Each structure stands twice: as C-alpha cells, then as structure tokens.
Amino acid sequence: MADNTPLTDYRNFGIIAHIDAGKTTTTERILYYTGVIHKMGTVDEGNATMDWMEQEQERGITITSANTTCFWKKKKLNIIDTPGHVDFTVEVERSLKVLDGAVVVLCATSGVQSQTETVWRQADRYNVPRMIFINKLDRLGASHERTMGQILERFDCNAAPLQLPDATEDAFKGLFDLVTRKYHVYMDDKGDNIEVKDIPEEWKEKVEQARHDMLEKLADADDSIMEKVLEDKGISADEIHVAVRKAVIAGKFIPVFTGTALRNKGVQLLLDAVTAYLPSPLDVPPVEGHDVKDEEKQLTRPCDSKAPFSALVFKVATDPYVGKIFYTRVYSGTAKSGETLYNPVAQKKERLAKIVVMHSNKQEIVPQVSAGEIVALVGLKESTTGHTLCDLNEKIVLENMNVPEPVVSMSIEPKTKADADKMGLTLKKLLDEDPSLQVSYDHETAQTIISGMGELHLEIIVDRMKREFGLETTVGRPEVAYKETIQQPAMEVTGKFITQTGGRGQYGHCVVNIEPTEEKGQGIIFVDQIKGGAIPREYIKPCEKGFREGCLNGILAGYPVTDIKITLIDGSYHDVDSSELAFQMAAKEALKEGLKKGKPVLLEPIMDVELVSPEEFMGAVMGDINTRRAQIVNTGVMGSLKTTRCNVPLSEMFNYVNAIRSLSQGRASFTMEPSFYDVVPQFVTDKIIGDRAAAANK
C-alpha cells in the first residue's frame, strides 16, 4: 500500500468488552490522538465516528463492528471496534477470528461483567494475545483494586498492572508507570498536555511494592526475569518491555493499563502499550487451512507478500453507493485491483473490482493489498462471510469461524402482498451480512420465521428492513428456540420402508440404537457399525441423511432434536427394490420409533443473568426473579450496589427490562447471555405443546 509500512510495524487489534464499558469512546480518543479526526465525538451525543448507523446513534450502543486505520509513532494500527451487547456476539466472534491482538476494556465501577467473560472466552478460543484497559476511573464508585481482584478471580489469568492511578473519581489526575518509574500528570482537559515527573516521595513505597508484585507475575512467564528476581538484581525498563512483549504474544501474561477515555486520560499510554506489546502479523503463527480436495490434508500459509495469496472474508456489508463490500483479512501474498482470485468454498472465480481501506463507513481506494492487511473488497459475486479467497493455482480453504446458535424466533410477514418478493430479497441480503441470523418457513402456519441471538437483534433486523430497504412488516411475538432430546436409550429399534406398486418397488430396512449423548451440546452423532454388508456401503450415507433430516422436527412439538447418538447396527436390502430413497425413509421411521421409546423431553435455553441493584430495591427484584424459575448462582457487593448472578429460562425473560425498571424506579440493571440448554418442566412442556397444536389448527 501507499504508506510502505513494514509488516513488523503493523498492529491488527480489536477493542472488546461488555456493553457500556467505553469501547467506542476509547476508539474515538485513539482516532483523535492519531490525527484521524480533529474533534472528539461521544456516544451520548450520537456523533461517535465508529457508531455510524442510525440505530447505533439512537440507542447509544454499538451494533456492527467498525474498522479503521491510523498511525501512532510510525506504527500502523488496524482497529476494529466491536459491540458489547450479547445479541451481536457474532460481530466479536468474526473480528477475533482475524485479529492478531485485543484490548479488553473494563469499567472501573462495574468491573468484570458476564459479557466480558464471554468475549474473554471467545479470545481464548482463537488464542488472541490481549491486554486490559481499566476505563472510567473518574466515575463515582470506581475502584482500581476491586477491578484487579475481579480480573484475577474471574479470568483466572496471569495478569498484573503496569500502571497505578494516583486516585479515583474526581481526584484522578495522573498515572504512575511501574516500568519506567515515572509519574504522568494530565495538565489539561483534552489530555494533550502531559507532564512526566519523578514519583512523589509519599508514593514511592506503594509504587515499588506494585512494581515488585508485577515483576513476580512476569517472572512466571519469562525465565530471564525469573533469574533476576531470584538474584534480586535490578531490572531495566528495556528488559521489562522485551519480556512483556514476549509473554503477551505467547499468551502467558496480561498487562493491565488504566485511565478514563471520556476525560482523555491514559489513552496515549495505552497506544504506546499497543505498539510495544501486541503482536505484528509476523509474530503470530502461520494461518492454517486444508486442501480443497482432501480435508484431512492440512496446509499453512506464512505471512509473506511473496507467498501464494490467501485471505478470509470475515464480514459482508451493504453500502448504499457501491453495493456489497467484503471485509477481508489477507494472510499471505499480494493482490491488485482487477485481478482474478478463486473462492474454493463456492468453487467459483472472483474478480477484484476495487480494494478499499475503511475508515468507519468512509472508504479510501488503494491499488493493491498484501499479507497482514485488513481491507474491504468490492466486486465479489459469490463470496460471503467465512469464505476463503486464494490463488488460482495454489488453492487452500481457511478455517471458518464459530457461529452461535440462535435462541429467539419470531414470525415476520410483509404488510402488503406486493412486498412478498421484496421481503425475500431483503432477507437474503441481511443473511449475507449476518451469519447469526436464520430464516425458515413454517409449513404448518404458512409463516416466515426469523431467528436470532435475542429480542434486540431481531428488533434491529426489522428496523433495518424498514429504513434501509423501505419494507414495512408485521411481526409476531418473539418465541424461544426450544429443542428436543431423549432421556433414556432406545436399543435395537427397527425402521422399514417397503412398498410394492406393480413394477419396481421400494425396500429399505435398518436397525439402530438411539442414546442420549454423554455431554450436553454435542448435537447429532452418527456411528456406522454395519458388519458383513447387511446394508451395502452406498446406502449408509442415505441412512445418515435420513436420520439428520428426521432430527429437524422432533415428535413432541416439532422442534429440532439434539444431543443424541445414533448407531446403525443392522438391516437388510433387496437386490432390485432397494434405493437411496428407501433407506432414507427407513432411517426416518427408525428415528421416530426410537424417539418415542427414549422418553422425549423439551430443552430450553437458560440465560446467565447478572442483576445489579441498590440495596433498598434488591428484595423486590429478587422476589420477581424467583417467580421466573430462577436458580441463584451467587450474590455479591459492588460498592454500594448488590449483585446477583442466576440462571433463568429465556422464556421468562421477555420484556424483563420494563419489569426491573418499574421495581427499582429505573435504578437497577441486568445483563444476560445464553449459557446452556436444560430440560423444560412438565407443566411448561404441556403448555408449549398445547400452544403449538392450537397455532397449527388455526
């Protein structure tokens, strides 16, 4: 690209956190200090650069991950600001898949919240090196020590602060750097005028103790520091910088920084830390993938502009002026505008019409893209989220990202018959953009059903259909995405499909064992144990297909079946009459019989709910949550507030926001995220089955 920045000076990182921790404000300050913008916007005023969607500005939350590029001390920063709301967790998922590092932002008042733990686990899944920024130190009730305690307890990681604040709330003026033993004092409101002083006498003992504790933690991750700590030798700032960088990249140490982004304190030091400690594209392992023709054959691509081209499309967005844009992380090789690449997932050639660098929702056209960069491509026809782009002659399929299962569904219909086709096209565009959205058609009720990660997720989808596509719709009440499973094994269940109609008939016969899986969340496991050719090899796949298709609709209320192990143990065939279709139908019959014998039950999504309330309202809040079939996990204290963590069925949490506001005069809050599926009590099951039957008979 035009700036000729070497790869060692690239930092591809994301800002991740719980909702309201201050991610977007932190990114806004980064853009200001790096000279990308000249006036700082705020989320509250709806003019933050990274929150460009109307829905984001109105609600004061981030909905879609936004990408931008800036420079700090000759280092090139590609930043992705991600949403914190659990309904948009796929945005975090796909960002972490392609990033080399992450900054986890925590609120000094609220500490480590449930959604923060979720993004932490997502970062663990992709082995993303990270550091922590404790934000909002100026807020009433802020506590650096309490937040540090929660980091160590809830994340169970080797973390230590590299800075200490000189105070909190209104008294917060500066930061002590434990590495350089210097005191950074902020002399103006914009954070531009910083004086670096020696540490005042009254703070020296506390700073030295904190430095010693930090070095002991670092010693656990670095042998050279360990030797010096044991020998009680002096350790220079440069030695600490080298050791911290090495340990962060290896995932063995989490440095913690602090400040207040809204009051413009601590952000420049955070930028220094990003450039000093987070990895460049050359510091992370080569990307892994597999051969196009053989999934077992593993391939890698080094981060080298001269290697064969490979890239992952991690997000698709629709721009009103240029159409679809494809956010892409390039792992190896170089590509120029106008070149033709190959999409091995769609098995189609793709031509690059244009390459752009994104600055939130604005674009800068560039002539080419190389390894290590994050850009947006224009002109692709067959690609979508999770697809690979590679060299025409050196093909590779890169690993796709993990997409969470939807937990809430609702029916949606166009207001006029004329809009029926338009709704289909609009939903297709939204499906291309959002892999966590699912669309299906319920034949019983003749309705289109959209499924997503929560009420807000579906509300935003409907709102976007109206604003961006001019489509008015009528929506049904949100419904829970239940599942079905069995509680006991059903052994040697027979399924037969035999017809005889004059000429050639149909003959399929299989015998199966159907058992609950050992662990929750394992889905459908199929095992082939046919011996002696009782069922010919060519009919095994049709049997599996029949079982999997049968699992889409359970026998209790027609919900998908999950967490069962199906073992094909025996069967028979007819030389003339057997066919793939016959064995498919026989498998469905066997499944139906097995589910009946296996004590079928409904499963419902259980949410991990965290309640935060002033003490005087906690009794009323707890009384209400207990009527919602809640199971209390633990209780705690956060400053002057009481906290409760509990597991509550999602079906009991619809419209809870209004309930908790009225119970607490608007002073209590809650967060929730999907945790696991559990068996529905019988009285609730009976009601669900009755409601489904009534809807089908309408």
pLDDT at site 87: 60
Range list of β-strands (E), 213-262: 254-258
Classify 665 in phi/psi space as left (phi over 0), alpha (psi -120 to 50) or beta: left
pLDDT at site 40: 62
pLDDT above 70 as % of the chain: 92
Question: Running DSSP on this structure, what letter comes out for residue 692?
Answer: H
Angle subtended at Cα 536 by Cα 533 and Cα 537, rounded to the nearest 5 degrees: 105
Residue 162 has pLDDT above 90, yes or no: yes
Residue 47 has pLDDT above 70, yes or no: no
Question: What's the rounded Cα separation, in Å, for the pair 344 and 129?
Answer: 30
Residue 86 has pLDDT above 80, yes or no: no
Residue 444 has pLDDT above 90, yes or no: no
- The number of CA neighbours under 13 Å toward the Cβ of 61 is 16
CA neighbor of 600 nearest in space, from 671, 525, 679, 494 = 679
Question: Comparing 463 with 359, which gets the higher pLDDT?
Answer: 463
Question: What's the rounded Cα separation, in Å, for the pair 252 and 5?
Answer: 28
Q: Residue 303: in which H helix or E strand, if any? A: none
Q: For residue 563, count other CB atoms closer than 10 A to its CB.
A: 20
Beta bridge partners of 288: 300
Question: Comparing 296 with 329, which gets the higher pLDDT?
Answer: 329
Three-state DSSP state, 523: coil
| Mean pLDDT, rounded, for 537-559 | 92
Residue 302 has pLDDT above 80, yes or no: yes
Lowest mean pLDDT segment, chosen from 36-40, 172-176, 635-639: 36-40
Residue 691 has pLDDT above 90, yes or no: no
| Mean pLDDT, rounded, for 394-402 | 86
Question: What's the rounded Cα separation, in Å, for the pair 93 and 119?
Answer: 8
What digits encode the pLDDT tens for the residues 584-631? 999 999 999 999 999 999 999 898 888 888 888 899 999 999 999 999
Tell me which amino acid residue 502 is. Answer: G
Question: What's the rounded Cα separation, in Å, for the pair 182 and 199?
Answer: 6
| Mean pLDDT, rounded, for 40-66 | 51
| Mean pLDDT, rounded, for 249-272 | 91
Residues making up the chain, counted from first to last: 698
- Name the band, by pLDDT with cuts 50, 70 and 90, for residue 445: low
Q: Which residues contact 409 (CB under 8 A, 6 or more apart)?
A: 449, 450, 451, 452, 478, 479, 480, 481
Residue 257 has pLDDT above 60, yes or no: yes
Residue 1 has pLDDT above 60, yes or no: no
Question: What's the rounded Cα separation, in Å, for the pair 62 and 346?
Answer: 31
* Start-to-end C-alpha separation, the chain: 61
pLDDT at site 269: 92
What digits encode the pLDDT tens for the residues 332-374? 999 999 999 999 998 999 999 889 887 655 778 889 999 998 8
Q: For residue 552, count other CB atoms closer than 10 A to its CB.
A: 11
Could you tell me if 162 and 244 are in contact, meaning their C-beta atoms sit under 8 angstroms apart? Answer: yes
Question: Comparing 661 with 223, which gets the higher pLDDT?
Answer: 223
Averaged pLDDT of the chain: 85
Q: For residue 583, count other CB atoms closer than 10 A to its CB.
A: 30
- Name the band, by pLDDT with cuts 50, 70 and 90, for residue 64: low
Residue 655 has pLDDT above 70, yes or no: yes
Burial pattern 159-191, b for ≥16 Cβ within 10 A else e, equals bbbbbbbbebeeebebbbbbbbeebbebeeeeb
Residue 48 has pLDDT above 70, yes or no: no
State phi, psi for 562 to the nearest 5 degrees.
Answer: -140, 170
Hunting for tokens 């999602």 — which residue is that?
650
Three-state DSSP state, 585: helix
- Name the band, by pLDDT with cuts 50, 70 and 90, for residue 273: very high
Hunting for tokens 């590299």 — which residue is that?
162
For residue 219, count CB atoms less than 10 angstroms from its CB and return exposed for 0-12, middle for 13-18, buried for 19 or more.
Answer: buried
**Roughly what angle, to the nearest 10 degrees, separates helices 114-125 and 144-155?**
50
Question: What's the rounded Cα separation, in Å, for the pair 657 and 87?
Answer: 15
pLDDT at site 65: 58
Question: What's the rounded Cα separation, in Å, for the pair 126 and 647?
Answer: 27
Q: For residue 364, count other CB atoms closer than 10 A to its CB.
A: 14
**Roughly what angle, to the nearest 10 degrees, separates helices 580-597 and 540-550?**
50
- Name the band, by pLDDT with cuts 50, 70 and 90, for residue 62: very low
**Roughly what angle, to the nearest 10 degrees, separates helices 267-277 and 237-249?**
70
Range list of β-strands (E), 438-558: 438-442, 447-452, 473-475, 479-480, 483-486, 490-499, 506-516, 524-528
Model pTM above 0.75: no
pLDDT at site 666: 76
List strands edge to edge, sheet with 194-198: 163-165, 174-177, 182-186, 194-198
Residue 60 has pLDDT above 90, yes or no: no
Question: What's the rounded Cα separation, in Å, for the pair 68 and 356?
Answer: 11
DSSP conformation letters of 7-57:
GGGEEEEEEEESTTSSHHHHHHHHHHHTTS-SS---TTTT--SS--SHHHH
CA neighbor of 303 nearest in space, from 290, 328, 284 = 284
Residue 583 has pLDDT above 60, yes or no: yes
